[in-house]
C-alpha cells in the first residue's frame, strides 16, 4: 500500500536552516503537503506542491520535489524557537483529500538556543 516515511527527529540551532525530508511510494501522488502540529493542537497547513512542480518557495519555506526518487523536502530558513513542532509530510492522489491523505509519522523539530 501507500507509504510515507520521515525521520523522527531533527535538531538544529536557532538561526540555522532546517531541512526535513520525506519519501513516498505512491507513483500516482499528485498533491504533496507539509503540515505543522504544535503540542495539543490540530494540524496547520504550511504549504503544498503539485507533482508537476520541482520547487515552491513561500517566505521562509522552500519545498523541493524529486519526483523520480519520490523525495520531498521542506527547508525552513532562519529557524526560530516558534518553529519547534512536529512536521508531517502527506500525499494525496486528488485535491481536497477526496481519497484521503496519507501521512508520515512526523518529524520532531528541536531548536537549540
Among 7, 44, 57, 112, binds another protein (CB under 8 A): 44
Query: Among 76, 95, 93, which Cα is nearest to 85's?
Result: 76
Q: Using CB under 8 A, which of 16, 54, 58, 99 touches another protein?
A: 99
Q: Binding residues for another protein, how many (CB under 8 A)?
A: 25
Question: For residue 38, what is the DSSP state?
Answer: -
CB-wise, 14 or 99, nearer to another protein?
99
- Contacts with another protein in 75-94 (CB under 8 A)? 88, 90
Are the beta carbons of 47 and 56 closer than 8 angstroms? Answer: yes
Which of the stretches 13-21, 27-35, 52-60, 70-78 binds another protein when contact is defined by CB under 8 A? Answer: 27-35
CA distance 77 to 52: 24
Q: Which of 71, 77, 78, 95 binds another protein (CB under 8 A)?
A: 95
CA–CA distance, 59 with 26 (Å, rounded to integer): 29
Alpha-carbon distance values, 12 to 74, 78, 84 (Å): 14, 10, 10
Residues near another protein, by CB under 8 A: 4, 31, 33, 35, 40-45, 48, 88, 90, 95-106
Amino acid at each position: 500500500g501507500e507509504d510515507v516515511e520521515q525521520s523522527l527527529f531533527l535538531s538544529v540551532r536557532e538561526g540555522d536552516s532546517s531541512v526535513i525530508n520525506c519519501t513516498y511510494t505512491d507513483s500516482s501522488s499528485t498533491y504533496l503537503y507539509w503540515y505543522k502540529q504544535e503540542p495539543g493542537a490540530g494540524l496547520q497547513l504550511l504549504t503544498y506542491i503539485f507533482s508537476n512542480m520541482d520547487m515552491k518557495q513561500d517566505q521562509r519555506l522552500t519545498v523541493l520535489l524529486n519526483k523520480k526518487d519520490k523525495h520531498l523536502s521542506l527547508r525552513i530558513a532562519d529557524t526560530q524557537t516558534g518553529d519547534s513542532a512536529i512536521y508531517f509530510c502527506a500525499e494525496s492522489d486528488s485535491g481536497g483529500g477526496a481519497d484521503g491523505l496519507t501521512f508520515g509519522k512526523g518529524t520532531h523539530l528541536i531548536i537549540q538556543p
